[in-house]
Amino acid sequence: MIFLRPLRFVAQSVLLDATPRQLAAGFALGMMIGLIPKGNLIAISLMALFCALRINLAAGSASIALFAWVGLYLDPISHQVGRWLLTHPTLEPYWASLSTMKLMPWTAFNNTVVIGSTVIGLALLLPAYLISRPLFARFTPGLAAFVRKYHVATVLHGGEVTGELA
């Protein structure tokens, strides 16, 4: 039954009392995390924030997986945005002062793709939340009713182990 674990995770996110606000916040933060290349302090900090906030982890995890894949195709755009930011004459003194800070090398802000993806993720954070919240409000109750209606709810909640019936 280990192969049902991801499906249980998704079903519980729909069936439990997850509000559209929590689902949308998880989706939006997951989108930002998915877009940013991993292995730097920015991604690690966002993942810590992801785990600390009261958001829907299933929606966020699915969003991370989706946007990590989408982020690969956005790397050329992220590179252009990051190159523009790093080479802009008025911002060069700012980057020079940041480079002297002790934690800045771990953020990989000197990488054009990292800074470009971070800026794109920040720019899309609020629109992703505002667009996904009404969608979750509209479609989640119907999906929850559909899942509860069939025996699949018992299996996904682990009822086959305890002997409960839906």
* pLDDT given at position 157: 58
The two three-digit tokens of residue 150, written as one number: 């069939």
Indicate the domain borders of the chain: 2-162
- pLDDT per position as a tens digit, 75-130: 999 999 999 999 999 999 998 898 888 888 889 888 999 999 999 999 999 999 99
**Backbone dihedral region of 54: left (phi > 0), alpha (psi from -120 to 50 degrees) or beta?**
beta
- Determine the average pLDDT of the residues in 13-21: 74
CA–CA dist 88, 166 (Å, integer): 61
